[in-house]
Amino acid sequence: MRILIQQIINGLTTGSVYALIALGYTMVYGIIELINFAHGDIYMVGAYGGLIALTLLGTMSTALHLSGMGALLVGLMAGMLLAAAYGFTVEKLAYRPLRKASRLSLLITALGVSLFLENFVMIGQGASDKTYVSIGMLNRNFIVGGVSITMSQIVIFIAAFAIMLGLDLFINKTMTGRAMKAASQDPVTVQLVGINTDRIISLTFVIGSALAGAAGVLVGFYYGVINFSIGYLAGMKAFTAAVLGGIGDIGGAMVGGLVLGLLESLGAAYLSSEYKDAFAFIVLILLLLIRPSGLFGSSRS
């Protein structure tokens, strides 16, 4: 029982990270029907962005002296900002010129971008693991009834849900957000009523990338190390989460992320830890075969 609860807590933690990344996949797919392979690498760029900002602050911290909370926020902001800038640039340079090209070309371009970002960061930051800035506050550990829960897990929950709530509000309550929603439902008609689709697509990439960047920073704090190649697996898992929730469905991506996180941690505990990374792929394949529209999707696709 204790193990079960512990695994559920761990699963929900990784799950909320998957959910954050999955949102970017699902939003982009909703509008331009592209499986953005580079999205996982944007998440990785975000993780590095946070680390670089915090290291920079650390070297001059005697003057600034950030509290634990302040450092967390600065890291998150920097990661989101850098990831958003990269997402924006990638869309503009690589995807936009191909808007009318075949889907195969687009998919291959996305692969190329993913490779590019990985090697770009490897060259700039080195191939070895980087230790993340450790914030004392995050390492506190609570033990309740034999189940351990760390501060960083709590922070991940709260941050992920705050961000998702913000996104939900933005999409449903603001004009631009509604335009985004409309564009994902019918890009052509949206153009007819005077919405600049290119701008909306750009914005989608910016927001999706910022979310991925936030996820990257949170994971950096959680695991304590990052690497230029973390994007691939995380990206694949987040994509699975997006499909799980019905690709194109924002609420679905959140739930899909949590479900996948749970499946993975429970599977690792009770089935086989060696095949932990294979679960996501097996789930993905089974899902695409049985219910390609996602767990709660309509039969539209």
Partner 1 sequence: MSARAKVRAALRSYIVPPLWMFAIAMPIMGLLKSMVSAGLLVAGLILYRTLKGPKSIGAVRRGGYQEAVARYMHGQLPGYLRRYGPALVLAVSIVLPLFMNNYDIDVFTSALFYTMLALALNLLVGNIGLLNLGYIAFYGIGAYTYAILHAMLGLGFWDAVLPGGVMAAVVSLVIAIPTLRLKGDYLAIVTLGFGEIVRIVFNNWDSLTNGPNGIMGIPRPSLLGLQLSTGIRFFYLTLAFVIVEVYVLYRIDRSRLGRYALAINENEQASEMVGINTYRVKAIYFMLSAFFGGVAGVLFASKQMFVSPDSFTFIESVYVLAMVILGGMGNIAGVIAGAFTLVVLPEMLREFVLYRMLIFALLLITMMLFRPEGLLGRRAYHDR
Q: Are 71 and 61 in contact (CB under 8 A)?
A: no
Q: Nearest distance from residue 274's CB to partner 1, in Å?
A: 4
Q: Which CB, 179 or 284, lies closer to partner 1? A: 284
Residues at the site binding partner 1, with contacts judged by CB under 8 A: 33, 35, 45, 48-49, 52-53, 82, 85-86, 89, 94, 97-98, 101-109, 111-116, 118-121, 123-125, 232, 236, 239, 243, 274-275, 277-278, 281-282, 284-285, 288-289, 292, 301
Q: Which CB, 255 or 284, lies closer to partner 1? A: 284
Q: Nearest distance from residue 29's CB to partner 1, in Å?
A: 9
Q: Which CB, 67 or 272, lies closer to partner 1? A: 272
Q: Nearest distance from residue 252's CB to partner 1, in Å?
A: 16
Q: Which CB, 260 or 284, lies closer to partner 1? A: 284
Q: Nearest distance from residue 97's CB to partner 1, in Å?
A: 6
Q: Which CB, 129 or 277, lies closer to partner 1? A: 277
- Count Cα atoms within 13 angstroms, Cβ side, for 131: 3
Q: Nearest distance from residue 207's CB to partner 1, in Å?
A: 17
Q: Nearest distance from residue 161's CB to partner 1, in Å?
A: 28
Q: Nearest distance from residue 20's CB to partner 1, in Å?
A: 20
Q: Which CB, 114 or 265, lies closer to partner 1? A: 114
**Which H, E and C letters describe the chain, residue by residue?**
CHHHHHHHHHHHHHHHHHHHHHHHHHHHHHHHCCCCCCHHHHHHHHHHHHHHHHHHHHHCHHHHCCCHHHHHHHHHHHHHHHHHHHHHHHHHHHHHHHCCCCHHHHHHHHHHHHHHHHHHHHHHHCCCCEECCCCHHHHCEEEECCEEEEHHHHHHHHHHHHHHHHHHHHHHHCHHHHHHHHHHHCHHHHHHCCCCHHHHHHHHHHHHHHHHHHHHHHHHHHHCEECCCHHHHHHHHHHHHHHHCCCCCHHHHHHHHHHHHHHHHHHHHHCCCCCHHHHHHHHHHHHHHHCCCCCCCCCCC
Q: Is the dihedral of CA 111, 176, 84, 278 positive or negative?
A: negative
Q: Which CB, 5 or 77, lies closer to partner 1? A: 77
Q: Nearest distance from residue 281's CB to partner 1, in Å?
A: 4
Q: Which CB, 33 or 198, lies closer to partner 1? A: 33
Question: In Å, what is the CA distance from 149 to each residue of 143, 155, 243?
Answer: 6, 11, 29
Q: Which two tokens stand for residue 293?
A: 């529209």
